[in-house]
Chains A and B, each alone.
Chain A
Amino acid sequence: MKKIILLLMILATPLFAVLPDEILDDPVLEERAREISKQLRCLVCRSENIDESNSGFARDLRLMLRERLVAGDTDEQVIDFFVDRFGEYVLLKPRFSGTNIFLWVSGPLFLLFGGGYAIAFVRGKTRETQVEALTDDEQKRLNALLGD
């Protein structure tokens, strides 16, 4: 056992995201806490959310988040709380506001333009069919000419 304690001292960094002592007794509240913490960035890690991160910083944020929920905040209030303190950098899902609107609408816009272009392309291809196909009249004349 002594050896293990020694080893644990070497393993100074805790390698565990959500710790058992953090979990709230109320399962509904805890579920909300988990959902929110998946949307908040661990600011000292590289693109990890605080739910997955092992860092002490993320743990502090998780505890803070649960305190807010226990105090009766709504999900939006909790998220606002973090944005007020850490800036919008903390949000993994950027808000639909300001310049970020471009980010959110970029997909639909691409689809609109690309789709318009694709439809024009395909219709161009079918129109060529119509141009090239002979009408019945023309066909009769052609047959007549060839028949001669």
Chain B
Amino acid sequence: MIAEIGHAALIIAFAIAIVQAIVPMIGAQKGWSNWMYLAVPAAIIQFILVLISFSALTYAFVVSDFSLQLVAANSHSDKPMLYKITGVWANHEGSLLLWNLILVLFGAMVAMFGKNLPPALKARVLSVQAMIGIAFLAFLLFTSNPFIRLPNPPFNGTGLNPLLQDPGLAFHPPFLYLGYVGLSMAFSFAIAALIEGRVDAAWARWVRPWTLMAWMFLTLGIALGSWWAYYELGWGGWWFWDPVENSSFMPWLLATALLHSAIVVEKRNTLKAWTVLLAILAFSFSLIGTFLVRSGVLTSVHAFANDPQRGMFVLGILAVAIGGGLTLYAMRASTLKSNAVFSSLSRESGLVLNNLLLSVSAAVVFVGTMWPLLTELVLDRKISVGAPFFDAAFTPFMVVIAMVLPIGSILSWKRAKIRKSMQPLWGMMALSVALGAFVWSQNTGGRMLAPIGITLAAWVVLGAMAELGSRAKIFKVTARETLRRLRNLPRSDWGKAVAHSGFGLLIFGISAITAWEVEDIRSVEMGTPYYVDGYEFTLNSVGEFEGPNYVAIRGEITVVKNGETFNLYPEKRNFNVEGTPTTEAAINSTLARDVYIVLGDPQSDGRWAVRTYIKPFVAWIWIGIIVTSFGGLISLTDRRYRVAAPSKKVTRVAAVPAE
């Protein structure tokens, strides 16, 4: 019964979305305020209905209602409760329902908190949001209904892929979707602005917090996925340039560009058409990502052809959203001209360069991801494009970004003087190069990767510090005055410095792990110590271990270095129901290094295959990403942007000193 309620709620939500797409839009065109106002209750009710539907499906998973096809195919009564719940979105239908839930959640948030939006803009935004809702609710209802009953329910379910029974991956999709779908807000605002033919500072101020929020979640979602791959897949890689990863990385790159270009619109009322285009593209790439992942086209072009219904549906949504968005853009972009002026050496130009590098790098990832599909479809030629290509074709852009970031970021608006702007940076530049030189002198291998990477990392972090320092007139006024100035800097300035520093820390982590990782593969005799990179390892025992829904073989390895001792327990698990094995690497993690051990199979002579890694500073990859998104959070709390609720005072508050 509960499942039927969930299904019915979805159908009603679909009907309401149709009304919400049409009525407020007409109202906005004609200036009928009660037609426009309809969008608000419609968006809220739509959210409540989809929430009911989502709760119904969650309930079915929690009580293991195997009369539902989806539950029977993806769950099992012995599964721990956490994974019963996360199992809701660990499958196609459920994850699509989650996608819809987040979509209507964002709509409801605009409806409830967007009290100060001009009524016509708000009506149009919610109408566009409802159009996206129609498409995805239809996708769910007509091709991927999660509430299908089985005529003969099985006694128990077939379980959930063991790789997904893991905290990192359990929460990876919700974060990623909050990011993907959050970008739909930027899209809706862009379309609404094109219909109105008006983009101004106020528009940018409303769009930015949504984009910032989406970007934060997307960042964390990608980080969770990368972290999961690191500890679960058994060789400690953290990024593979897999097409699925690329699908989330392209919207991230464009969302990052959008965040920056929206600043220019807000502060300087220029770059408007480009910002609108980026908003359309960022969400389009979320849709492309969804298409690539959901249609099966990645596994093989032919897999897609075998079961084309779902793929065709997303392709249809893609065509309408991207085609419609870009057509509207082509028709209306010329109305978005601005007459702002700035010199070629200015913050504006710096941000144009930022946008150029980010969008070109996104294009490179796009071409690399699509190339194998393209050559197979057009030339019938099967080729692969993998990590070695992306390492070579993508990394240079990031190197250049890191080089110019501190400079572009410190330039003043309109017209900057190079000597004055660079003044606080020279010292930091010298310090970074000195640090790189020191690393180079210590580096016996002679590879340039570590020295260059660490110079760049230091330059980005120190540059961000120098900028804060110069804003606070450090050394020019008393220490007390500097502190007072630092305290009074807008939160967005702090957010910027923190986010940029996080990027620097990420570069540090990546360079260190790439340059200095030590790997050791050997067969180990029980009780006989072996040595890797100054650590002593002893395999004490290998025994059996029973988990809640798996049995494992578990090794005990004692690690000693400089009198410090700890034990690691690498496992090989076999999940009872699903029958598939997984490795559980044992990791001892500190800020300076991870010791990472994987247990292999016993060898014929009674030894055990063991892989041991010393991964220097690898934790800084994730620390960097978390710091970066934390910078976003700080910016979000800037009083100018209080999420979606720019207060009426905003126009007056806007007289914050120009940067």
Contacts and interface: CB of A to CB of B under 8 A. Distances in A.
A70 interface: no
Interface string B508-521: 00000000000001
27 contacts: A3-B544, A4-B542, A4-B553, A8-B602, A10-B574, A10-B579, A11-B553, A11-B572, A13-B581, A17-B235, A21-B523, A47-B240, A47-B384, A49-B386, A91-B383, A92-B385, A94-B389, A103-B368, A107-B397, A110-B360, A110-B364, A111-B356, A118-B352, A125-B340, A125-B342, A126-B344, A128-B339
Interface string B438-478: 00000000000000000000000000000000000000000
Given A17-B235, A111-B360, A121 B352 contact: yes
A46 B299 contact: yes
Please classify how large the interface on chain B is, using the bins under 10, 10 to 19, 20 to 34, 35 or more.
35 or more
A64 interface: no
B304 interface: no
Interface of B: 233-235, 237, 240-243, 270, 298-299, 339-344, 348-349, 352-353, 355-356, 359-361, 363-364, 367-368, 371, 375, 379, 381-389, 392-394, 397, 521-523, 542-544, 551, 553, 572, 574, 579-583, 598, 600-603, 609, 611
- Main SS class of interface, B: mixed
A34 to B, nearest CB: 9
A129 interface: yes
Contact of B611 (A16, A93, A114): A16
A92 B602 contact: no
Contacts of B367: 103, 106-107
Contacts of A146: none
A143 B73 CA distance: 83
Contact of B385 (A11, A23, A52, A103): A103
Interface string A20-52: 110100000000000000110100001111001
Interface residues of A, number: 52
Interface string A123-135: 1011011001000
Nearest to B340: A125
A33 to B, nearest CB: 12
Nearest to B397: A107
Nearest to B524: A20
A74 interface: no
A15 B581 contact: yes
Nearest to A117: B356
A14 interface: yes
Of the listed residues B356, B397, B603, the one surrounded by the most CB atoms of chain A closer than 10 A to its CB is: B356
